[in-house]
Amino acid sequence: MGPEEQYRAYLADGKFMIQRSVSTGAYVFYPRIFIPGTGETDLEWVEASGEGVVHSTTTNRRSPEKGGTFNVSLIDLAEGPRMLSRVVGMASEDVTIGMQVKARIDEIEGIPAVIWEAS
Amino acid sequence: MASDMRHLRGQSACVGVATFGTGECPGWSSLEMMGKATLMALDDAGLKIGDIDGVWAATAVHAMPSMSLAEHLGIVPKYSSGSNTGGSSFMAHVIDAAVMLDAGLIDTALIAYGSNQRSWGGFRTVSEPVPFESDYQVRLPINAYALAAARYMHEFAATREHLAEVAVAARAWASHNPEAFTRNLITVQDVLDARMISDPLGKLDICLVTDGAAAIVMKRADQAKDFARPIYLLGAGMAHDHRMISEMPNLTTTCATESSWRAFGMSGLKPKDIDTVQIYDAFTINTILFLEDMGFCEKGEGKDFVSGGHIAPGGGLPVNTNGGGLSCVHPGMYGLYPLIEAVRQTRGDAPGQQIPDVNLSIAHGNGGVLSSQCTTIWGSVDTL
């Protein structure tokens, strides 16, 4: 199983896991078979702290008939890497850059996904 | 000496350009449009189909466009490529062509584009889905550019009014260009009042969805001197540092810093030498970021640089003099259009407002989500 499928298997099991290089301690997301740029392959899966900060945010004004408006944000994980996700549980327009957020696992149209809410 | 292209300065030239079906071109296929633009560019140069021995093409909907185009034209090229780095593809093709012309592997390069997307019912792409980001049903490319714009506003205290200045300037240039799809003048307030699409980008912060085809023909300098209006490639550089917006190292600094550094290095020129600037402006934030990253102003100062009509007709620096992707044409991938506007301005035959005494123009392409950057610098024979 490749790293993407492994990540999804963890998610389906209710776990938000990311990778870390044993030798350098550097974290990786999105999951890969090596550290991008340097190539270390000694990656282990560790549970993410689930803590993050909103790096940027937008409100995607999708039409109501297509499912309506939703938030799209870039989240800086406490471990370092950045991920694209959504901040939920509040009006999308009220999500601000620099906001502290906490991860939980939910589903978006049937696909398990890490999403974030104000912490 | 590695990574040094100075020996290619002025060694190739664009000898013919054409645009076709700009705006709406109902009833034509994308390939037919590309073929027509090719014939027109050959005619502009005084060449024939049989002269072409190198073919480059990229579109959003063809996986093998250079083969389709060569077959359509009925030629057997010595080399062809459909390499696709999004909207910067065509500037990258120029680098390929310049190198292969200089090496003597080909004698006549064709670079072409065509899209009937508007007449077919909107933006389509064969681009691969983005891993992980796709799970969130992110709308690309718009959400990605909105995230960069929001971050820029946060870091540099920029406002939607600053972004709007870019759209207002583009429209003012377009108002002089009979080829432009939208020519009615707009105000900053019009941009602010337009329907919000992905905050902070509203409808008028976002490029048009049009049809359009374009083609250029390039020759080696020793051949180009016999043509009527050769415009020489003085500098070129490329870089890309991510594919997905979540992997962009810094949302407010693109690697146009690197591509332009290489292009200026090859040409021996500086931003202050440039007479017109043609930038891939798919969104208002692009123009601000690329003017900064190419060194026309400092990082964070772009918001003021574009304000007060400074990049509009009559301003200090002519930017996107055809009206840009925001107001002239945006047929899915816009990259050949700014390149052709740079050549036309330097030749002195721009279809819209011609800037007097142009000798040097820059054409900068952007692809993906601020991902691939390719800068080209073009000069008249006097700049050799």
Under a CB-based contact definition with an 8 Å cutoff, are residues B365 and B339 in contact?
A: yes
Q: How far is CA B292 from CA B152, B299, B309, B326, in A?
A: 12, 5, 17, 19
Task: Give the E-state strand segments of chain A in sequence order.
Answer: 17-21, 27-28, 43-47, 51-60, 70-77, 82-85, 100-108, 111-118
Helix or strand or coil: residue B304? helix
* Residue B119 contacts A where some CB pair is shorter than 8 Å: no
Summarised one tens digit per residue, pLDDT across range B142-156 is 999 999 999 999 999
- Torsion angle in degrees (nearest 10) through CA of B47, B49, B50, B56: 100
Position B53, amino acid? D
Tally Cβ neighbours within 10 Å of residue A25: 9
Of B298, B273, B122, B101, whose CA–CA distance to B209 is shortest? B122
If you measure CA to CA, which chain B residue comes closest to A73? B147
Contacts of B245 in chain A (CB under 8 A): 74, 84
Contacts of A61 in chain B (CB under 8 A): 195-199
β-strand pairing of A70-77 with A27-28: unpaired
Tell me the mean pLDDT in the region B125-132: 84
Task: Give the E-state strand segments of chain B in sequence order.
Answer: 12-23, 54-57, 79-81, 108-115, 196-198, 201-202, 211-220, 231-240, 276-279, 360-367, 372-379
> Which residue among B137, B199, B247 places its CB closest to the CB of A58?
B199
B298: pLDDT strictly greater than 50: yes
What's the gap in Å between the CA of A22 and the closest CA on chain B?
22
- pLDDT bin (cut points 50, 70, 90) of residue B127 is confident
Contact between chains at B154 and A85 (C-beta distance less than 8 A): no
d(CA B284, CA B281) in angstroms, rounded, equals 6
Tell me the mean pLDDT in the region B252-267: 98
Tell me the mean pLDDT in the region A81-102: 98
d(CA B162, CA B158) in angstroms, rounded, equals 6
Residue A55: per-residue pLDDT? 98
Tally Cβ neighbours within 10 Å of residue B320: 28
Summarised one tens digit per residue, pLDDT across range A5-22 is 999 999 999 999 999 999
φ, ψ for residue A8 (rounded to 5)?
-70, -35
Chain B, residues 150-189, CB within 8 A of chain A, namely 150-151, 154
Residue B3: per-residue pLDDT? 60
Query: Radius of gyration (Cα) for chain B, nearest Å?
Result: 19
B4: pLDDT strictly greater than 80: no
Chain B, residues 234-253, CB within 8 A of chain A, namely 244-247, 251
* Residue B135 contacts A where some CB pair is shorter than 8 Å: yes
Residue B5: per-residue pLDDT? 87
Q: Residue count of chain B, please give it.
A: 384
Enclosing H/E stretch for B337: helix B336-347
Contact between chains at A61 and B197 (C-beta distance less than 8 A): yes
Contacts of A74 in chain B (CB under 8 A): 147, 245-246, 251
Summarised one tens digit per residue, pLDDT across range B14-67 is 999 999 999 999 999 999 999 999 999 999 999 999 999 999 999 998 999 999
Under a CB-based contact definition with an 8 Å cutoff, are residues B184 and B199 in contact?
A: no
d(CA B7, CA B185) in angstroms, rounded, equals 44
DSSP B186-244: --HHHHHHSPEEETTEEGGGB----EEEEEEEEEEHHHHTTSSS-EEEEEEEEEE--SS
Q: Which parts of B251-296 fold into alpha helices (H)? A: 256-267, 284-293
Give, rounded to a whole angstrom, the gap between the first and last alpha carbons of chain B: 22
B1: pLDDT strictly greater than 60: no
Of A12, A7, A3, whose CA–CA distance to A111 is shortest? A12
d(CA A61, CA A91) in angstroms, rounded, equals 12
Query: Radius of gyration (Cα) for chain A, nearest Å?
Result: 15
Helix or strand or coil: residue A11? helix
d(CA B203, CA B187) in angstroms, rounded, equals 14
ipTM of the complex: 0.98
d(CA A102, CA B179) in angstroms, rounded, equals 51
**Residue B344 C-alpha from the chain's centroid:** 14
d(CA B229, CA B91) in angstroms, rounded, equals 20
Residue B274: per-residue pLDDT? 98
Contact between chains at A108 and B137 (C-beta distance less than 8 A): yes
Position A4, amino acid? E
Summarised one tens digit per residue, pLDDT across range B69-115 is 999 999 999 999 999 999 999 999 999 999 999 999 999 999 999 99
**Helix axes of B65-73 and B30-45: crossing angle, nearest 10 degrees:** 60
